[in-house]
Amino acid sequence: MAETRVKSFVLRLLLAQPLTYWKLLKYIDVDIPTVQKTLKNLLEDKILEYKNNLFYLTPKGKEEARKLGISVFNSAICPECKGKTLTLSPFKWLMEEFESLISQRPRAISEYDQGYVNPTDTIARVIFMYQLGDIEGKNIILLGDDDLTSLALLASGFPKKVTVLEIDQRILDFIEKKAALKGWNNLEVVHYDVRYPLPDQFKNKYDVFLTDPVETINGIDLFLSRCVEALKGKGSIGYFGLTHLEASRQKWWNIQKDILKMGFVITDIVRGFHTYLLERDDILNLELKVAKEAPVEIVAPEVDFYTSNLFRIYAVNVLQPLVRGEVDWQRELYYDQEAYVTCP
């Protein structure tokens, strides 16, 4: 059970040191509702205590850990790559160029479920793609680009062409302006709402897609289906992010089934690849469920706790989009009962 997994994680983490609510969310790879419920039960059972914004193991909790054979947690994640499986050292120049390009970027807005990832993670994603031969000489399409990954791709000099389909005109204007200043002529930006059919001129034209979809089942199927239509066919590649905080393992199972139905196989999943730079005060001010339904009284996050996992999928069969034509979804496209951070 997920609650048993959370309990084990809490015991091993707190044996090492007291932690805040936000750090527990960051380190435990289970959905937020399950973490909240488990913490509440552990507090009621006197296994945990909470004081000065920190969770501690009680003597009963330490004894429980001993009975379960749980020892102090020691992280084995590489301190340089932080689990991303690669180093950015050979591409320091690209990081510097990207940071220069994204200065004065448009502010993330909730209307489009936006939240920027750490710029280092954006470069890491590009280098991950480069390592696997998914950039050089490729036609790449991005469905949504609030992270400005298109600028990182263009700055690398590797892609043949980069196309951005994005609903937020602010972002399109920003990307286009920066590309013009650099003289990049292999960029195409288009205002596009994913609820409408993919225009014919983008179908079957691309080697690789990138998207950071909303995390409802319908939303993910929709985003991936539009991307599927843009790909050339067998051998094409897709990249997207998926959290564990707002996507339970049951949801993951449903998503993976749909990925197989579309004709893909999952080749890579890298945990915690992206860290989102959310407005920390907004977490409390907007009364998001991650804060409102916390089992204790909390303060604003002291860490960037919201992360997502990087998925790479490879087309092995004839590609089949699961959603075709126009859809009339509104709020249900973006939010479901597991949306504890993206939805007030």
Assessment of whether the complete model's pTM goes beyond 0.75: yes
Residues of the chain with CATH 1.10.10.10: 2-67
pLDDT score, position 109: 64
Type and span of the H or E element at 41: helix 32-44
For position 45, what pLDDT does the model report? 97
Q: Has residue 136 got a pLDDT over 70?
A: yes
Mean pLDDT check: name the lowest of 77-81, 165-169, 176-180, 330-334: 330-334
The residues that bridge with 268 in the sheet, in sequence order, are 312
Please report the pLDDT score of residue 287 as a whole number. Answer: 85
Q: Over the chain, what is the mean pLDDT?
A: 94
Query: What Rg do the C-alpha atoms of the chain give, in angstroms?
Result: 21
- For every residue of 250-294, DSSP letters joined together read HHHHHHHHHHHHHTEEEEEEEEEEEEB---HHHHHHTT-HHHHT-
Average pLDDT over residues 115-142: 95
pLDDT at 108 (0 to 100): 65
Contact in structure between 25 and 290 (CB atoms under 8 Å): yes
Tens-place pLDDT, residues 210-262: 999 999 999 999 999 999 999 999 999 999 999 999 999 999 999 999 999 99
Enumerate the CATH 3.40.50.150 domain ranges in the chain, comma separated.
Answer: 89-323
- Core vs surface per residue 88-119: b (16+ CB within 10 A) or e: beebeebbebbeebbeebbebeeebbbbbbeb
Class of 2-67 in CATH: mainly alpha
CA-closest candidate to residue 308, choices 273, 268, 263: 273
What average pLDDT does the segment 266-275 reach?
A: 96
Q: In what order do the strands lie in the sheet with 161-166?
A: 187-191, 161-166, 139-143, 208-211, 237-242, 307-315, 264-275
CATH class of 89-323: alpha beta
Residue with tokens 């409802």: 216
Mean pLDDT of 283-310: 93
